Structure 1
Amino acid sequence: MKFVVQVRLFPTPVQEAALADTLRLCNDAAALVSGVAWQMKVFRNYDLRAHSYGELKGMGLSAQPAQHVIKKVADAYTTVRAQVRGKLRPPLAKPIAFRPDAAQPFDDRCLSWQIEVRTVSIWTTGGRMKGLRFACSDTQARALAVHRKGESDLIHRDGLWLLIATCDVPDADIIESDAFLGVDLGIANIATTSDGERHCGKHLNAVRHRNRRLRRRLQVKQTRSAKRLLKRRRRKESRFARDLNHRISKSIVTEAARTGQGIALEDLQGIRDRVRLCKPQRVTLHSWSFHQLGRFVAYKARRAGVAVVYVDPAYTSQECSACGHVDKRNRPDQETFSCTSCGFAEHADVNAARNIASRAVEGRAAVNQPHVA
C-alpha cells in the first residue's frame, strides 16, 4: 500500500533563493517541452526526449532533472487525455501551462535523505545543496527510513517549502471477524458508531456556518484583497476538514482494532444525486468531504489489518435496530428514534449505526453460508 509523507523544509535565505531558482527553471523548461509536445503532437516520454532534451541541457538542467521535466510534461498530458475521455473536462485548446512554483519530482540521484540528522541533499541550479534541514515526527521518520520508495516532490505552497515522499508499505493481513463496528455518516454528526460514540456535532457545524457566512461576505465584495483572502481561506478550510477527517477515521479504526471488529460503512456512492434535502441541508451536505472520510477509514483499516465492508444504506435511519420495524414515524425529529412497534428508543444516529453493523454481519453470514445443492 502506498501513502505519502509530507515534511517541511527550513532553508536559509541563500538556500531558499537556490530552491526558488531551481523550481522556476524546471517549470520554464516544462512550459517549453509542453509547447513542443503541443506543436508536434508528440506526447510520449521517450519521443519527447528526442525533440527537447538538448534544449533543456542548454538551459542549464542536468541530465536527471531534464528527464524528470520531460516525464512531468508527458504525465500531465496523459492525465488530461484521461479526463477528456472520462468527460471530466473539455478537450485542450492550448498547451498545458506550468506555474513558476509548480511541484518538481526528484529521484535518488538528485535527492538524498539523512534521516538521523534531519537533513537532505538536493540538486539545484547552483549545484548540489547539502545540509538542508527538514522537520517531521518520529513516526514519519521511521516510515521514510524503512518504506520510502521512488520519487519525492519539491513543493512551494503558501510560503512554505515542502518535500512529499512516497512510501510503499506491505499490506497487513486482514483479520476476519464476525462482529462489525457500524459507522453512520450524517450532517448533524459527521460520524456515529454503533458503540454510541458521536464525532463532531454542534461545534463543528458552528465553525462551518461561520466560515460560510464569511465566505459569502467576501464573495459579495469582489475586491482584489477579498479574492486573496478567499483563496487563503479556501486552503485553510480544506486543511481543517482534512485534519478532522484524519482524526475521526483514526479514532474509528483504533476502536475497531482494539475490540477485534471489522468496520461497516454505508455505500454512499452517488448520494448527492439521490437525496432530496432543503436548501440549508444541501449546503451542509455538499460542503463536507464524506468521500474523503471514507477513504481515510479504508486505508487506515488496511494498515491496521481491519476488514471493511460496505452495506446498502436504504432505510437505516427508519429501521428499528431492536425489532426491525421500518416506518417514517420512527423518526419524530433529527435526534430521536422511537419505534412505533416495540417502543424501543435511542439516539437516531446510534440506531442507524447499529443497523449498518447488523447488515454487515448478515452479509458476511450469507457469504460464508455453505452451498446446498
Structure 2
Amino acid sequence: MNLVVQVKLLPTAEQASALEATLRACNTAASDVAATAREIGCYRNYDLRRHIYQGIKDDHRLGAQAAQHVIKKVCDAYKTLAANIRAGNLGKPGSKRRRNAETNPVSFRWDAAQPYDARMLSWQHDARTVSIWTVSGRLKGVAFTGSSDQIKAVATMPVGESDLVHRDGMWFLYATVEVPEPELIGPAGFLGVDMGIANIAYDSDGNRHAGTRLNGYRRRQVRLRRRLQQRNTKSARRLLARRRCKEARHAANVNHIIAKTIVTEAARTGRGVAVEDLTGIRDRVRLRKPQRVTLSSWSFHQLGAFLAYKARRAGVPLVEVDPRYTSQTCHRCGHRDKRNRPDQGTFACRSCGVVAHADHNAALNIARRGVEDWGAVNPPARGLTSQPARKRPASLALRAG
C-alpha cells in the first residue's frame, strides 16, 4: 500500500527564491495549458501534450519532466472537475456556479503543489538533504527534517512521486512511499463504530471517543472567526490567515488518535472493524440552519479514511455497512421503532425494555451487520472465516500518522 509522508525542507534564502520561481513558472504554465485545453476541448494527457508540450517548455523554461507533469496536473484537475459536476457538487444544471465551472478554464495559484519524480528529485539520506530541479538549475544540498518515523520511512522504503508544497511561508515535500501490506486476519467478530456529531465515535465495547471537548473547541473557533470577520481590520485579517488551518490540524490530530485507538483494540482482540457507509450524508440529511455549521465541520470522512488505512497497515479487516435504522433498532431483540429514541442520547426498546446509550446501541447493531456482511462474502471459520482473508484493493494514499 502507499502512504504519503510529509517532510519539511530547510532551504537557504537563495534556495527558497529558486523554489518560489519554480512554482510560479510551473503554475503559470499550468494555467496557460488549462486555458488552451478549454479552448480546443482537449482534456486527455497524451492528446493535449501534442498541442502544447514544446510551447510551454520554451515559454516557461521548463524541463521535459516538469512540462509533462504540468500537463498531467491540468488533465487531472479537469477530470476532478468533471466528477464534481456529475456528482452535483457544483450546483444544479443551469445554476450560475455550475455554468462558470463548465465554461471557464481551471486556474492555478502560484504556489499550488508541483509533482516531482525520481528524475527531478533525489534523496541523500546520510547528509539528510535532497537534490531538486528548479528553473534556475539543479539545487543540491537542500536540507530536510521531520519526525523520526518520517525520516525512517523515506530512508528505508521505496519512494515514488513527491509533491513540492509551499504553505504558510514553509516548504514541504509530500513523498509517496510503498509500505508492505500484511495479510488480513480471519476476524473473530467485529468492533462496531458509530460516528456522530455529539460523539465523534462510539464503539460497541462502550468506549466513547472525543465528543464534547472537540465540539466545544469548534464552537469557540466559529465564534472567534465571526468576531474577527466583523472587525475586518488589517490585523484581524492577518490573524484569520494565521488561524485558517488551525482547526483542521486539530481535528486531524484528534481523528488520528481515535482511529489508532480503535484499530489497536481490534487488532489486540483479533476482530475486524465495522463502520457506517456515510457517503453522501450531507445531501441526505436536512438540518436547521444553526446545525448546518456543525454538520459541515464534522470530519467523518477523514476519520473513516484514517480507520481504513490504519486497519490495512495492521492487517485488520474493515467493512462498511448500511447505516439505515441502526439508531432505531434494538441490538438485543431487533425491534425497530422511531419511538425507541426518546431523546438524542437514550435508547429504550418498546418491545423488550432494554435501555442503553443510543450511540452504544447503534455501534452494537453496526458490529452485527459487520459480521453478516463479512460472512456473506467470506467462507466461515472461527465463526466467520476459514482462511486468511484476501487483500483489499489499495485506497487513496494518506499522510502517515
Report the TM-score range of the alignment, normalised by the length of the smaller protein: 0.7 to 0.9
Structure 1 residues 59 and 178, CA gap change in structure 2 (3 angstroms): closer
Aligned to 2:274: 264
Aligned to 2:384: none
Amino acid at match of 1:132: V
Alignment of 1:351 onto 2:355: no
Structure 1 residues 174 and 11, CA gap change in structure 2 (3 angstroms): same
Structure-2 separation of matches of 1:346 and 1:247: 26
Aligned to 1:56: 57
**Aligned residue runs from structure 1 range 1-373, under 5 A:** 1-46=1-46, 47-54=48-55, 56-57=57-58, 59-89=60-90, 90=98, 91-222=101-232, 226-365=236-375
Structure-1 separation of matches of 2:73 and 2:335: 57
Structure-2 separation of matches of 1:324 and 1:75: 47
For residues 296-335 of structure 1, give each alpha carbon's deviation from its aligned partner in whole angstroms, at most 9, with x where no partner exists. Answer: 1112112211111222323323333334344445444333
Amino acid at match of 1:66: A
Q: Is the partner of 2:177 in helix, strand or coil? A: strand
Q: Is the partner of 1:283 in helix, strand or coil? A: helix
- Equivalent pairs counted in the alignment come to 370
Structure-2 separation of matches of 1:73 and 1:28: 11
Q: Deviating runs (4+, > 6 A) in structure 1?
A: none
Greater RCO structure (CA 8 Å; 6+ sep):
2
TM-score (norm 2): 0.81
Q: How far apart are residue 266 of structure 1 and its match?
A: 1.6
Contact 2:27 2:109 in 1 (8 A): yes
Q: How far apart are residue 358 of structure 1 and its match?
A: 2.1
Contact 2:145 2:151 in 1 (8 A): no
Contact 2:53 2:67 in 1 (8 A): no
Q: How far apart are residue 251 of structure 1 and its match?
A: 1.2
TM-score (norm 1): 0.87
Contact 1:49 1:67 in 2 (8 A): no
Structure 1 residues 215 and 125, CA gap change in structure 2 (3 angstroms): same
Structure 1 residues 51 and 315, CA gap change in structure 2 (3 angstroms): closer
Q: Which runs of 5+ in 2 are unaligned?
A: 91-97, 381-401
Q: How far apart are residue 154 of structure 1 and its match?
A: 0.7
Identity of aligned residues (%): 60
Amino acid at match of 1:77: Y
Q: Is the partner of 2:331 in helix, strand or coil? A: coil
Structure-1 separation of matches of 2:199 and 2:74: 43
Q: Which runs of 5+ in 1 are unaligned?
A: none
Amino acid at match of 1:115: H
Amino acid at match of 1:190: I
For residues 215-251 of structure 1, give each alpha carbon's deviation from its aligned partner in whole angstroms, at most 9, with x where no partner exists. Answer: 2333444556545544443322222222221221111
